[in-house]
Structures are given as C-alpha cells and as structure tokens.
Chains A and B, each alone.
Chain A
Amino acid sequence: MFEFLSDLFGSQIIAAFISAALPLVFIVPFVIFAVWLERKVSAHMQDRLGPMRVGWHGWLQTIADFFKLLQKEDIVASDTDKKFFNVAPYIVFAGTYLVFAALPFSSAYIGTSLDIGLFYIIAVSGLVVIGILMAGWASNNKYSLYGAMRSAAQIVSYEIPTAIVILSIVMFTGTLSLSEISDNQTAYFWNWYIFGGPDWGLTKFLVLPFMIIGFLILYISTLAEVNRTPFDMPEAESELVAGYHTEYSGIKFSMFFLAEYGNMFAVSAIVSVIFFGGYQSPIGYLGDALAANWLIPFEQLFWFAAKGIFFVFVQMWLRWTLPRVRVDQLMTLCWKYLIPYSIVNLIIIGIITLI
C-alpha cells in the first residue's frame, strides 16, 4: 500500500500521510455506525424502539448528535488545570489511534506491518490510561478523580491477563506479527486458532479447549481495558455521575466518545485477528472463484470489519445484560481468576506446543 502510494505521488511524505489518515476514514464512520447500533441494540433488547426520527430507523441520529456536540459551548471550569484538561481527550484518542496503526485491515492494507505488532499494541494501549488520568486530575472534580484512579488501576491490571494470553498465542504461532498470524489462518474457518490452528493432527484437538479458555480470558480482559460494562468503573454513571469525563462538554466530550468506540473496535479486531482469522474469509473467497484477484482485498476488508463489528455487538449485548462489578471485585476477578487461569492456560498450551 505504502509503496503503491509513494509510486503514485512520487513522494514518501504524502504517501505516509495518506496511509496514516486512512484508519481515520474507517474510525469515524464506524463510530457513527456503532453509536447508532448501540442505541438500537439496547432499545430492542429493552423492548423499546430507540431513535426512529432522523432517517430510516434513525440511522442519521448520530450525525445529528455529532453536529449538536460541535455546536455546544466548550465549557472549561475555572478551577481546572487548563493545559491538561484541554489535551487529555486528544491523548486518549491518540492512544486508540495508535493501535489502529498495526491492525491488518486486509492483506493489502496495514498501517505498519510491524514484526512485533502484538507487543506494540499492548504497549500503546496503555497510553489511554495517561489521558484518562490527566482528564480526571485536571477536572478538579472528586468524581472525576475517582473515575481516573479506578481506570488506572483497572487498565494496568488487565494488561497482565491480556499479555499472558497473547503470550500463549505467540508461543503457539511463533510470531508477534499480526499480519502473519492472520495469514496463518487462511482458507476456511477450521483453520482459525480458536479451533486449534491450521496444522492438522493431535495438537489441534488437544489445544482446542484451551484456546477457547484463552479466548474467554482475552475477551473479558479486553472488555475491562476498554471500560465497558460490566467493567465500566471509571464512568459508572450510577456512582460517579460520569467518571473522568464529568466536566467535559462539546467537542472534547465527543473525542472521549470517539476514543471509546474506536477502542471497542480495536480490541475486537485484536481478538478476531488472534482467534478468528482476522481478515481471512471463513468460507473461501469470491475473488478466487471468479478469478478476479483485485476483489480479494476488498472481501478481506469486509470480513475484518464484519468480525470486528460482531465482537462489538457482543460487547453491547453484555453491556445491556449485566450489572456492574464493584471496584474491588474487579481486582479480584483479575488477580484471583483471570491471571491464574491464564497462567495455567499458558503452561498447558506451552506443553502442547512442545509435543
């Protein structure tokens, strides 16, 4: 992609800019769609209708809301730490955006095909914490501060089970590169790592249950990392009003929103890349059947988005089903349940890999 663009424009700088901006072209429509989806999913789960007025079944509602947020007064309370207060939403968004740089959207487009893609993602997703802490501290509001403190504790803790599960996958596949992991799971869905990977044999069947456990742990801990219910401690609206973004309004608030939904997709994409074949089609490609090779990257983009959106849907489904855990139980779940399970899982997968 990058080579193609630099050939086209004759300048690597322009090509780099375009490559870097491409995920944004994906994130913004995705967030608009996801917010609408969240509203509709929640509404129908609760026997309601949800937005119905703006466009067909209210599909333009989010755009209308976006314009509303743009027009709103950007309130900065007098006692806030203005520098941090103003920069925090952008840092949160930057943390999300950095993750997108390493996501393989299709075989033709990946921001940077890093050899240490997984490691990079774990590293940069921690940046979100800094933004949230900044927002909470700079707001000079007790609720915000609590939200931020909880968030820091939560995200840092849940990095560990995430990392351990990813480590077990890395052991099993022998690579840290996301595009390589995706490529390994090519062709049909039984080649996905959740079903034991592409190699047929005893290993595949032995590793299958542990892959499912690994998937569950990874899904739960990423859910906690993006602060979604049942782990939405930092914003817990019934306790902390709105948590770290209590004091924000207008465009800065929408930045947090963008980051949240962007993050949801990012972690869903990581889960789908690791366990569900990433951009690989589960049922073969139409492009192969029609002998039209140019079609394949687009199909791959479709599958990548579809899998991502499916896991985003599951996140929403969980959100509208479950109550919220308490902050100490959040830690209990992480340290007493997820981490021991993931370590045991790691050891077992390691042993299976050895045989």
Chain B
Amino acid sequence: MALKTQELVLNMGPQHPSTHGVLRLELELEGEVVTKVIPHLGYLHRCFEKHTEAMTYPQVIPYTDRMDYLASMYNNFGYVVAVERLLGIEVPERVEYIRVIMGELQRIASHLVALGTYGLDIGAFTPFLYLFRDREHILNLFEITCGARLLYNYMWIGGLSHDIPSDFVRLTKEFISYFKPTITELNELLSYNKIFIERTANVGILPADTAISYGITGPNLRASGVQWDVRKDDTYSIYNRFDFEIPVGKGWFGTLGDCWDRYYVRVLEMEESLKILEQAIDQIPEGDVQSAIPKRIKPPVGTIYTRVENPRGELGYFIISDGSVNPFRIKVRAPSFVNLSVLNELCKGHLVADVVAILGSIDIVLGEIDR
C-alpha cells in the first residue's frame, strides 16, 4: 500500500528573518524539497509612481531615495541624469566627478550590505558585522558631505546640494587604503570557507540564456557569464574616462551562475569600484557645483528613458513630460523587481535552506520592488 502523502505549503514571511524585508514566499514543498515558489509582493507599496505626478521635478528626488534605500545615491543619480537629458543641460565637470565618486562609494556600501546579509542567511553572523563596520566609514563620508546617512537627496538636477567638504578627498583616500585589506579578510573568513562554498556552489544555477530571457541585470547577470554593464555598454556621466574591468562569473567552485558566483562577482565589483575611486579622486577639477542648476525646471514636452547601473542592476527611469512643472508620468524599471521574478526558476528542486541562500544571492531590496 502506498503511503498517503500530502504536499506542504509553507509561508515564508512577511515576518521571517531572511526574506530581506516584508516579502512573503509561498513555498510548495514535498518533504523539504521545493516544488514551487510564489513570491507575494506589495507589503511595502508606497505609490511612488503615482506620487511623482503631484510633485515638481526636484521634489521627486527625496522619493527616489526611498526606493532602493541601500543605494539612495544611485537612485538620485539615475533620476537626475534622466531629467538632465530631458532638459538638455550640461553639468560641470566637478559635478560629474563627485557624482561618480559618490555613486561608486554607494555601490561598495550596497554590496557590503548584500554580502553581509548573505553571510547572515547562510548562518555566519560575524562577517555581517565586520562589513557593517566598514560600511559605516562610507556613511560617515556621506554624512560630512550632505548631512544624511541613508536618504541623501544629494544629487540635484544640474548639480549637487552641497560641494564636498575640504577634507573629503583625504578621508576618501584613507578609506580606500583601509578597505583593501578588509576584502582579503572577508575572503578568508567567509568566501573561501569550505562550509560556505558547500552551501552556495552548485546551488541556484542561473544559465545565461535564462537570465537574459528573464531580463536579469547587474551582478546576477554578470555572474552567469554575460559581460554586460550599463556603465560601459551604454555609458553615462563620465564613466568612459575610467579604466575598470567588468567582473564576470567563471564557475569558480561549481557551475557557472551559481550562488557562489553571484556572491563573488559582488566582491570583485567592490575592488573595481575602488579602482574607479582611486582614479577619480585625484582628478576632481575645481568649479562650482551649483552653477548649472536651472532656476525653473520645466522640461519640454517629450519622453525619455535613461538607465544607469545601480548596484543591483539596470535602474531605468521613463519620464513623460507634458511641459509643466510636474512630470506627467514616471515609470521606474526597478532591478530588484525584475531579478526577483526568476526566483521560482532557481528554487525548483532545492531544499528550504537553499531558498534562503538563493534569495539572499539575488540581493533584493523590498523598498525598490514594491516602490
């Protein structure tokens, strides 16, 4: 006689230690093996896109901060680049350099959180706090520049809210020299740990073609071996002046595009960001950061789509202007939202513990998914 079995539905979240926010995953399980994952979104929905229609263009910037709250600078960056292109204004050199520096610092800070919380998902608590300690240095840099630690509202249309303070360059150089050895330490403590490799290598394999057909971008796509980075391939600001590599996954310990690759691509990206920082910090020209800010921001009638390389992938802003001071419509292509869509594909046939590992390796921010 066959044993009577029953499929188990497990609700993971919205209150769960490792769903990275208020995400609810409905897991259909057979024993501990996952057969289906249904993500339920919307617990953090704040009507960003509708809100913007009642705002003037500069007023939208604080709202963009709150989408991907771990990469606020970069959200500002993408938005102001879009509006500037719509307005057709050139920003001064100094502004461009400072934006790139802030953007890359933000990328490191965001990856630090991603790697730290990933360690936490796997069960390693200590690297998480080491990485947060390092992130603190970056937040201090932001704080002395614009006064805020998380939601900056720093990049304005045509300029910046503040010029960098006099000791910013020195402190950034200090940070760069301080941060390099801590990456080695992270690698020794976590990346090359046998247990960590066992947990992540050959888990959640994302082949390149699947990744492309799902529209995955950012480190997740590059970990699958696709060399695609908006900074190089559709360059914006002054990224074409810097010499840096695009790290791609190589299947170091397992198959190409597994969780370890996704993790390690982020580690390598931090090193590349340091390279950009080292080049940019010495070249900042003199100038006024607010000279190009228009008095009245009233873009001509038209539409624009601009994309930038957010730490999580391709962040796109689609703006329709009807010629008034308020945008007619702003649509955001949130990288986390698109990246999350592949979760079901990755989790099939894995264990519950792997769902946590896979979800962490996709590195989602719920603020951006729900907007």
Instruction: List the interface of chain A (C-beta within 8 A of B).
Output: 42, 45-48, 142-143, 146, 229-230, 232, 236-241, 320-329
Q: How far is the CA of A202 from the CA of B356 in the complex (A)?
A: 52
Which of B62-70, B191-199, B241-249, B330-338 forms part of the interface with chain A?
A: B191-199
For chain B, the count of residues having a C-beta within 8 Å of the partner chain is 29
Residue ID in chain B nearest A320 by CB atoms: B126
Interface string of B103-137 (1 = CB under 8 A from A): 00000000000000001111111100110010000
Residue ID in chain B nearest A48 by CB atoms: B129
Decide if B125 touches A241 in the complex (CB within 8 Å).
no
Q: How far is the CA of A229 from the CA of B119 in the complex (A)?
A: 13
Decide if A146 touches B352 in the complex (CB within 8 Å).
yes
Decide if A230 touches B198 in the complex (CB within 8 Å).
no
Interface of A is mostly: loop
Residue ID in chain B nearest A328 by CB atoms: B351
Measured CB to CB, the closest approach of chain A to B77, in angstroms, equals 31
Decide if A142 touches B121 in the complex (CB within 8 Å).
no
Q: Given A47-B133, A142-B10, A239-B356: A325 and B126 within 8 A (CB)?
A: no
Contact for B119 among A142, A237, A323, CB less than 8 A: A323
Q: How far is the CA of A350 from the CA of B45 in the complex (A)?
A: 67
Residue ID in chain B nearest A46 by CB atoms: B129
Decide if B123 touches A323 in the complex (CB within 8 Å).
yes
Decide if A326 touches B125 in the complex (CB within 8 Å).
no
Decide if B18 touches A46 in the complex (CB within 8 Å).
no
Q: A142-B8, A238-B122 are in contact. List 7 more A-B contacts (CB 8 A).
A: A46-B125, A230-B123, A239-B18, A239-B353, A321-B124, A322-B193, A326-B199
Which residues on B sit within 8 Å (CB–CB) of A47? 129-130, 133
Q: Which residues, 7 to 33 on B, are CB-close (under 8 Å) to A? A: 8, 10, 16-18, 32
Measured CB to CB, the closest approach of chain A to B204, in angstroms, equals 12
Residue ID in chain B nearest A45 by CB atoms: B126
Is B315 an interface residue when CB atoms closer than 8 A count as contact? no
Q: Given A47-B130, A239-B353, A241-B17: A146 and B124 within 8 A (CB)?
A: no
Which residues on A sit within 8 Å (CB–CB) of B32? 146, 327
Which residues on A sit within 8 Å (CB–CB) of B195? 230, 322-325, 329
Is B269 an interface residue when CB atoms closer than 8 A count as contact? no
Which residues on A sit within 8 Å (CB–CB) of B199? 323-326, 329
Is B44 an interface residue when CB atoms closer than 8 A count as contact? no
Measured CB to CB, the closest approach of chain A to B191, in angstroms, equals 11
Q: Given A321-B189, A323-B193, A323-B195: A239 and B129 within 8 A (CB)?
A: no
Which residues on B sit within 8 Å (CB–CB) of A320? 125-126
Q: Across chains A and B, which 3 residue pairs bring their CB atoms closest together, nearest first?
A: A324-B123, A323-B124, A46-B129
A–B Cβ pairs within 8 angstroms, 18 of them: A48-B129, A142-B10, A143-B10, A146-B352, A229-B123, A230-B195, A236-B123, A238-B18, A239-B353, A239-B356, A241-B17, A322-B193, A323-B119, A323-B123, A324-B122, A324-B199, A327-B353, A329-B199
Decide if B122 touches A323 in the complex (CB within 8 Å).
yes
Residue ID in chain B nearest A42 by CB atoms: B125
Contact for B126 among A46, A143, A230, A324, CB less than 8 A: A46
Q: Given A326-B199, A329-B199: A232 and B125 within 8 A (CB)?
A: no
Q: How far is the CA of A326 from the CA of B129 in the complex (A)?
A: 22
Which residues on A sit within 8 Å (CB–CB) of B193? 322-323
Residue ID in chain A nearest B124 by CB atoms: A323
Measured CB to CB, the closest approach of chain A to B168, in angstroms, equals 25
Decide if B17 touches A237 in the complex (CB within 8 Å).
yes
Which residues on B sit within 8 Å (CB–CB) of A143? 10
Q: How far is the CA of A42 from the CA of B32 in the complex (A)?
A: 31
Q: How far is the CA of A147 from the CA of B17 in the complex (A)?
A: 15
Residue ID in chain B nearest A238 by CB atoms: B18
Which residues on A sit within 8 Å (CB–CB) of B356? 238-239
Is B354 an interface residue when CB atoms closer than 8 A count as contact? yes
Q: How far is the CA of A241 from the CA of B12 in the complex (A)?
A: 9
Q: Which residues, 178 to 230 on B, are CB-close (under 8 Å) to A? A: 189-190, 193, 195-196, 198-199
Q: How far is the CA of A174 from the CA of B353 in the complex (A)?
A: 44
Q: How far is the CA of A238 from the CA of B123 in the complex (A)?
A: 7
Q: How far is the CA of A323 from the CA of B118 in the complex (A)?
A: 10
Interface centre among A48, A143, A146, A322 (most CB of B within 10 A): A322
Q: How far is the CA of A47 from the CA of B196 in the complex (A)?
A: 22
Residue ID in chain A nearest B350 by CB atoms: A326
Which residues on A sit within 8 Å (CB–CB) of B130? 46-47
Residue ID in chain B nearest A319 by CB atoms: B125
Decide if B16 touches A241 in the complex (CB within 8 Å).
yes
Residue ID in chain B nearest A150 by CB atoms: B32
Decide if A326 touches B17 in the complex (CB within 8 Å).
no
Which residues on A sit within 8 Å (CB–CB) of B354? 326
Interface centre among A48, A232, A324, A329 (most CB of B within 10 A): A324
Residue ID in chain B nearest A233 by CB atoms: B353
Measured CB to CB, the closest approach of chain A to B179, in angstroms, equals 15
Measured CB to CB, the closest approach of chain A to B188, in angstroms, equals 11
Which residues on B sit within 8 Å (CB–CB) of A328? 351
Interface centre among B121, B189, B195 (most CB of A within 10 A): B195
